[in-house]
Amino acid sequence: MTFEVKPTAELKTSNDLEVLDVQRHVPVNLRQSGDNGSRMLISQRVRKSPFWHLSQEAGCWCYEIYNHMYHPRAYVPLEEGGLLQEYKYLTEDVTLWNVAVERQIQVKGPDAAKLVDLAITRSVDKLKVGKARYVILCNEEGGILNDPVLLRPAEDEFWFSLSDTDIALWLQALNLKSAFDCTVREIDVAPVQIQGPKATALMADLFGEQIHEVPYYGLLEGEVNGCPVIVSRTGFSGEAGYEIYLYDASVNAERLWYHLLDVGKAHNIKVIAPGHIRRIEAGILSHGQDMDPETNPYQVGLGWQVDLNKSRFVGKEALARIKSEGVTSKLAGLKLGGKQIDWYPADFYIVYAENEAKPVGYVTSAFYSPTQGCNIGYAMLPESLSAIGTQLEVQLPEPYAGGRVPAEVTETPFKPPEFPGTGLTQTGRKL
């Protein structure tokens, strides 16, 4: 791929981009407004997680709002390598992530399984006690409301480990309307993630050899430094990894965190932010970026999540229609030129067909990939331009280009995950 930059006028208005959002009620904000150095107010109106102060101690210097909580997004200073250095820690050793923003919504009671089955697009019967599953919840139009990990610690109990939307309110409304015999509430359980090639060795130090018996998306009940926890063999990195769900997290946060750092010294543990470079490589999508309530599973490679043989779930009729009619826009993997994208994009970068003036799509996620040796990402494109090998152009801001760079639709995942899941094994590619 060549890296010639074609200067263009930076877009300041979305008037020319309306065609990209013809299927949406609320358009994506495609104004290229950048970041002028604005800072975030830390106040009592936004919740701090039980690990907030511990992330500060570990050097976190950048946060964003996620599930109405402060979410760590960078620890290593830019002058010391920034997010690319965090990627190095993640792919070579083992890392600790504060992911308490994955708020835990408990559904519990005799009818818990009925409510969960109504809310998710997969069959709840396939989720046995002691297991977890990646699931999606859709609205009545087939839009993706959330893509949590769903845990089943007991026959009558489920936990939704959320991505970034208010699913507790949605589940409470479904429960009220259907008059199920169960409760829906957030619980004082907060997860951390242990991710990287040395993750299993560290977890063996914590839990013994039984950790090797936990299957992908399996659960294990145990204790860390006297604190009760549930462990799932899951993660957001594509590397070997686990999540440790801490009970009574408001009280036990320090006991867990410091013990993990102490035991992890032998494995060169580092505290980092969730590894978005690696998750893009692995074909893992981020709700709010790559999908939202106005995108459906068939647009973003999640059609395998939809079981139309189920008798009933929210969105079934719409999803059956969408599958039958097909979609006009799809998410696709891209390799693109320009200088290394080493920070979170402040805008959805605009995509053009080669040598054309009219925009055709937008980039939802992008970073420089050390394994690919170029910038990679995902873009929402017309279905007709989503075929592998399609040549496109992407408008990148300074300091990455200040103009258009060449891009090519590419097969995903860019770097296969350590443990390929159902979507990858069934379809061969995520998108």
Is there a domain that residue 6 lies in?
Answer: no
List, in sequence order, the alpha helices (H) in 93-147. Answer: 112-119
CA separation (Å) from 381 to 327, 331, 361, 394?
A: 11, 6, 5, 12
| Closest C-alpha to 337, from 372, 361, 371 | 372
- The range of the structural domain enclosing residue 351 comes to 15-35+288-427
Is there a domain that residue 83 lies in?
Answer: no
| Number of domains present in the structure of the chain | 1
* pLDDT at residue 76, rounded to an integer: 98
* pLDDT at residue 22, rounded to an integer: 58
| Closest C-alpha to 356, from 314, 393, 401 | 393
Residues in the chain: 431
Q: Residues 6 or more apart from 203 whose CB is under 8 A from it?
A: 194, 211, 231, 242
| Closest C-alpha to 337, from 399, 411, 381, 401 | 401
CA separation (Å) from 58 to 52, 53, 75, 379?
A: 10, 9, 7, 34
* pLDDT at residue 431, rounded to an integer: 73
* pLDDT at residue 416, rounded to an integer: 84
Is there a domain that residue 182 lies in?
Answer: no
Mean pLDDT of successive 10-residue segments in the chain (431 residues)? Answer: 50 53 80 90 96 98 97 98 98 98 98 98 96 98 98 98 96 97 98 98 98 97 98 95 98 98 98 97 96 96 96 98 96 98 97 93 98 98 96 97 97 83 57 73
Q: Residues 6 or more apart from 152 whose CB is under 8 A from it?
A: 127, 128, 129, 130, 131, 132, 158, 159, 219
Is there a domain that residue 58 lies in?
Answer: no
- By the 8 A CB rule, do 121 and 215 touch? no
Q: What is the pTM of this model?
A: 0.94
Is there a domain that residue 41 lies in?
Answer: no
CATH of the domain at 343: 3.30.1360.120
Is there a domain that residue 389 lies in?
Answer: yes
Is there a domain that residue 142 lies in?
Answer: no
* 243 annotated binding-site participant: yes
* pLDDT at residue 9, rounded to an integer: 47
Is there a domain that residue 324 lies in?
Answer: yes
| Closest C-alpha to 157, from 106, 195, 204, 119 | 106
